[in-house]
């Protein structure tokens, strides 16, 4: 790739920030049963998850920190809309887990900022730049976050060039199946053979060797992969419509806005609104509206006991005036009653 000066989205970290990075290597794992709790597990990220498919939620995270990068594997059993922002001054790459042959078809239904990842490509976004993922049920992904300065230094050592300007516009990287498989094996091995529990000296040596190998992997992917040119203008417009709908719902959560009201406020036809949601999320507007409100109610229910709010209070706050219908829809989506969620949040 031709070299370019890093854009503002890929700012080099200041020396003081860089030198203060801890040399320690840490490995942590978690198993949770709430989508938003899963979102909070990933260190250094700003995230919010909305569960979209029906059933009890289960999420796993295995996360490794090296001095200048983060490696993780995340697994969730339900379809989730993820609003994400990774570390500043870094680049995130997401590799759909292709180890389970039966899950490969489902993994092709991942959407990043509304764009369908039909080729099992490697997703990528710059730090400090919010993005959205829509993941299918039984989803598993490997992620690596690399400080830009470390990545640039690794590229220079190899005599490689990174097209930072092109990466800023791209959402995924087309890499060959062999490169993807090798990268996944390296990330899996890094998590399994993390140099923790060793003496400080041995830990530092193993961490440096592991980090160098992973940096070389990322540089190779960026050098030989083909970055997509960015979203087409029509999709960008549809993304804006979907984002505006979410903003309208969250601005007045106690008002159960209807599709005709949305069409009037956004100056679009019902058909256009339908196309926007199908193209960006693969959902109907009604499905999305219900999911936003139910997930919002769940977040509030998890804190309701501390706030001395009843289940009915929370339901009304999110525009559910027919309590029996709310309880039925809630149980169908999350696999438990609203009162069960409220009791669990109190402990």
pLDDT attached to residue 165: 82
- Taking each helix axis as running N to C, give the angle between helix 270-280 and helix 285-301, from 0 to 180 degrees, rounded to the nearest 10: 60
pLDDT attached to residue 227: 78
For 185-198, write each residue's pLDDT tens digit.
999 999 988 776 66
- pLDDT band with cut points at 50, 70 and 90 for residue 231: low
CB atoms within 10 A of CB 346: 10
SS3 74: strand
For 301-323, write each residue's pLDDT tens digit.
999 887 889 999 999 999 999 99
Please state which of the ranges 50-59, 101-110, 148-157, 256-265 shows the lowest mean pLDDT.
101-110
CB 139 within 8 A of CB 108: no
Q: What mean pLDDT, rounded, does the chain reach?
A: 86
For 274-292, write each residue's pLDDT tens digit.
999 998 888 899 999 999 9
Strand 90-96 relative to strand 122-126, pairing: antiparallel
DSSP codes joined into one string, 122-147: EEEEETT--EEEEE-SSEEEEEEEEE
**pLDDT of residue 17 exceeding 80:** no
**pLDDT of residue 22 exceeding 80:** no
Distance from C-alpha of 208 to C-alpha of 220, rounded to nearest angstrom: 18
Task: For residue 46, list its beta bridge partners.
Answer: 85
For 134-147, write each residue's pLDDT tens digit.
999 999 999 999 99
CB 54 within 8 A of CB 332: yes
pLDDT attached to residue 223: 86
**pTM score:** 0.87
Give Cβ neighbours of residue 144 (< 8 Å, ≥ 6 apart): 69, 70, 71, 72, 92, 93, 95, 187, 214, 218
- In the chain, what percentage of residues exceed pLDDT 90? 60
- In the chain, what percentage of residues exceed pLDDT 70? 87
């Amino acid at each position: 790739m031709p070299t370019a000066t890093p854009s503002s989205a890929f700012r080099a970290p200041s020396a003081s920030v860089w030198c203060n990075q801890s040399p320690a290597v840490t490995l942590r794992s978690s198993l949770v049963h709430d989508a938003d709790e899963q979102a909070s597990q990933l260190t250094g990220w700003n995230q919010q998850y909305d569960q979209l498919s029906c059933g009890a939620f289960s999420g796993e995270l295995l996360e490794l920190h090296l001095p200048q990068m983060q490696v993780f594997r995340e697994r969730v059993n339900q379809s989730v809309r993820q609003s994400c922002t990774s570390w500043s001054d870094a680049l995130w790459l997401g590799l759909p887990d292709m180890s389970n042959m039966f899950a490969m078809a489902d993994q092709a239904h991942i959407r990043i900022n509304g764009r369908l990842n039909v080729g099992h490509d490697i997703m990528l976004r710059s730090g400090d730049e919010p993005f959205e993922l829509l993941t299918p049920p039984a989803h598993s992904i490997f992620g690596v976050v690399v400080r830009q300065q470390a990545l640039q230094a690794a590229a220079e050592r190899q005599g490689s060039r990174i097209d930072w300007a092109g990466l800023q516009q791209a959402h995924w990287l087309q890499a060959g199946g062999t490169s993807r498989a090798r990268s996944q094996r390296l990330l899996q091995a890094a998590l399994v053979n993390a140099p923790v529990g060793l003496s400080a000296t041995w830990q530092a040596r193993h961490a440096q060797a592991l980090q160098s190998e992973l940096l070389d992997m990322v540089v190779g992917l960026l050098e030989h992969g083909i970055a997509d040119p960015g979203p087409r203008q029509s999709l960008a417009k549809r993304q804006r419509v979907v984002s505006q709908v979410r903003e309208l719902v969250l601005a007045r959560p106690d008002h159960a806005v209807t599709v005709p009201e949305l069409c009037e406020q956004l100056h679009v036809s019902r058909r256009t609104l339908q196309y926007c949601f199908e193209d960006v999320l693969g959902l109907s507007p009604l499905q999305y509206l219900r999911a936003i409100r139910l997930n919002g109610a769940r977040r509030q229910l998890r804190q309701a006991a501390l706030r001395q709010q009843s289940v009915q209070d929370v339901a009304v706050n999110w525009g559910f005036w027919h309590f029996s219908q709310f309880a039925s829809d809630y149980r169908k989506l999350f696999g438990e009653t609203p009162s069960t969620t409220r009791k669990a949040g109190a402990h």
